[in-house]
Structure 1
Amino acid sequence: MLEIRNLHKRFGDTVALDGVTLTVEPGQMFGFVGANGAGKTTTMRIAMGLLESDAGEVTLDGGKIGFDQRVRIGYMPEERGLYPKMKIGEQITYFGELHGMTPAVARRATDEWLTRLGLSERAGDFVQDLSLGNQQRVQLAVSLVHEPKVLILDEPFSGLDPIAVDTMAAVLVERARAGVPVIFSSHQLDLVERLCDSVGIISAGQMVAAGTVKELRQKGNRKLRVVLEGADPSWADRLPGEVVNVADGEWVIDSTDDDQKLLAAAMNAGRVVRFGFDEPSLVDVFREAVA
């Protein structure tokens, strides 16, 4: 289990982190979302020991993270850390050895991941000759070759085509199902909503919302959708709150008024075909949380 407690970090007069706390359980996929500069990368770098926090702590399975724990983590930085003039297969094997694998074991693991990620035929190519998507597949292989106990990935889906996204997503889901805590940051909130068990939303260095996707959506601002037949369009003009006529005979209502009063008004206006609330998407929740 990866625990980040009350992290604080300043860069001069800029407050990068202001009490960030989150927990990623074994087998859980945690989506870390926020605007550019919100503090996601700083948090991940501190978790990896690449930066020191001003206060707070990061623990793995209850203990502070040192060298022995860090080599158990698979890390994909936002700025991809590959050697452009090194062959793919040699590079993955090299990183496996850096994590303590013997050369023979690292080579076997390299072959397995090259096959899994569709890169076997490119094993002898240089990284600089690959497309961005294939470079990211190599970076993923580097983060997985040593069978990490934790995965920390900073914008792993950035710039990928849909097929590459599906490949990477399948690997991350597989690792999570094997009991590995997985945390990744992304601006693709539809992808986060589809893949993640829990989500943390960070804004200006503070965690402004956290929980399961279901919990966050339930806390969000639900909007009432009403479909009527035979209603005068002006019926909704007298309703409280924001009312939008989204289509012929269909209205979306954002109101704190009693829903039974709204239902009575709709029934008086015409034949009610639909009357129900739309759960907010993660995008809606994000906009509310950072507003």
Structure 2
Amino acid sequence: MLSLDGITKSYGARTVLDGIRFDVVPGRLTGFVGGNGAGKTTTMRIILGVLSADAGTVTLGGAPAGADDRQRFGYMPEERGLYPKMKVLEQVVYLARLHGFSRADATTRATALLEELGLGERLDDKIEALSLGNQQRAQIAVALVHDPQVLILDEPFSGLDPLAVDVVAEVLQRRAAAGAAILFSSHQLDVVERLCDDLIIIAGGTIRAAGSRDELRALHSTLRYRLDSAADAGWLRAEPGVSVVDFEGGTALFDVDTADTAQRVLHEAVARGAVSRFAPQHPSLAQIFKEVIA
């Protein structure tokens, strides 16, 4: 497990990170979200050893992460860092060889990975000839080619169309299932919500929320329900303990004061007509994000 404990970083009088603590667990995808300037990239660079912290520790498996450990890390920066004149396969093979693989092994690994990422027909194209989305896929291949134990990805879905997002997401899920610990940042909250197992929200250099996706949803949930029924839902407005948020015809979104009130509403709805849906409504990641950084 990758653990950060008390990470602090300042530039002069400006504190960029203030006592950052969180874990990235093997076999799980951890989403790392926050606004511009929140401290995500600085945190990632400290994990990688590119920047040093003023205080705090980065540990892997309970021991301080050193240079040898970081050889088993994979990193994709937000800024693309590929050589534009090199061919796609050539580029990924070159980076694999820097990790100690023979040319034959590097070529086998790079070819398989690029095919997995949907670039099998672009192996001999120069990087500069690729679309921005395909350059992003090649950048991800570079981060993955040595089968890293820890994977740090800064905005991996930037510039990808929906189909490419699905391809990359499936590749990352397979790496997590194989035991990799994966931390990725993204401004695309819908993608993070769909993909992550765990979630970290950072703002102003401090962690505002951290936990599993389901834990955070439960923690920030209200007693809000949705009702779909054959009868008009206007009667809900007269029910004690019920606050109607929105309704149209037989569909209503409403808050209740207790779980018992919700059960009473359900029984009354059934008595009035067929009920096709009655379910609690959990907050989206976007709603949780707005709540915790307010």
TM-score, scaled relative to structure 1: 0.88
Q: Where does residue 124 of structure 1 map in the other structure?
A: 124
Deviation at 1:261, TM superposition (A): 4.8
Q: Where does residue 181 of structure 1 map in the other structure?
A: 181
Give, as a single letter, the amino acid of the residue that structure 2 aligns with 1:253: F
Give, as a single letter, the amino acid of the residue that structure 2 aligns with 1:82: L
Q: Where does residue 133 of structure 2 map in the other structure?
A: 133
Q: Where does residue 252 of structure 1 map in the other structure?
A: 253
Give, as a single letter, the amino acid of the residue that structure 1 aligns with 2:216: L
What do the CA deviations read for 1:185-239 (whole angstroms, capped 9, x no partner)?
1122222222221111111111111111111111113223356735656x62786
Where do residues 156-167 of structure 1 align in structure 2 (5 Å cutoff)?
Answer: 156-167=156-167
| Aligned equivalents of 2:262, 2:25: Cα separation in 1 | 43
Q: Where does residue 4 of structure 2 map in the other structure?
A: 4
Structure 2 SS opposite 1:194: helix
Q: Is the 8 A contact 1:97 1:106 kept in 2?
A: yes
What do the CA deviations read for 1:155-182 (whole angstroms, capped 9, x no partner)?
1011101111111111101111111111
Q: Where does residue 61 of structure 1 map in the other structure?
A: 61
Q: Where does residue 41 of structure 2 map in the other structure?
A: 41
Give, as a single letter, the amino acid of the residue that structure 1 aligns with 2:225: L
Structure 2 SS opposite 1:58: strand
Q: Is the 8 A contact 1:231 1:271 kept in 2?
A: no
Structure 2 SS opposite 1:100: coil
Q: Where does residue 282 of structure 2 map in the other structure?
A: 279
Distance 1:232 1:32, change over 3 A: closer
What do the CA deviations read for 1:10-66 (whole angstroms, capped 9, x no partner)?
223332211111111221111111122211111111101111111111112222222
Structure 1 SS opposite 2:79: coil
Q: Where does residue 110 of structure 1 map in the other structure?
A: 110
Distance 1:11 1:271, change over 3 A: farther
Q: Which runs of 5+ in 2 are unaligned?
A: none
| Aligned equivalents of 2:54, 2:99: Cα separation in 1 | 28
Structure 1 SS opposite 2:8: strand
| Aligned equivalents of 2:214, 2:68: Cα separation in 1 | 36
Q: Where does residue 172 of structure 1 map in the other structure?
A: 172
Aligned identity (percent) is 50
| Aligned equivalents of 2:154, 2:136: Cα separation in 1 | 11
Q: Where does residue 77 of structure 1 map in the other structure?
A: 77
Structure 2 SS opposite 1:79: coil
Q: Is the 8 A contact 1:88 1:125 kept in 2?
A: yes
Structure 2 SS opposite 1:157: coil
Deviation at 1:259, TM superposition (A): 4.5
Give, as a single letter, the amino acid of the residue that structure 1 aligns with 2:110: T
Give, as a single letter, the amino acid of the residue that structure 2 aligns with 1:122: R
Q: Is the 8 A contact 1:220 1:284 kept in 2?
A: no
Which one is further off, 270-279 or 148-157? 270-279
| Aligned equivalents of 1:184, 1:230: Cα separation in 2 | 45
User: How many residues are paired up?
Assistant: 288
Distance 1:196 1:231, change over 3 A: closer
Deviation at 1:109, TM superposition (A): 1.5
Distance 1:265 1:69, change over 3 A: closer
Q: Which runs of 5+ in 1 are unaligned?
A: none
Q: Is the 8 A contact 1:5 1:56 kept in 2?
A: yes
Distance 1:262 1:137, change over 3 A: closer
| Aligned equivalents of 2:168, 2:262: Cα separation in 1 | 46
Deviation at 1:79, TM superposition (A): 0.8
Structure 2 SS opposite 1:3: strand
Distance 1:110 1:199, change over 3 A: same
Structure 2 SS opposite 1:253: strand
| Aligned equivalents of 2:75, 2:63: Cα separation in 1 | 19
| Aligned equivalents of 1:161, 1:207: Cα separation in 2 | 30
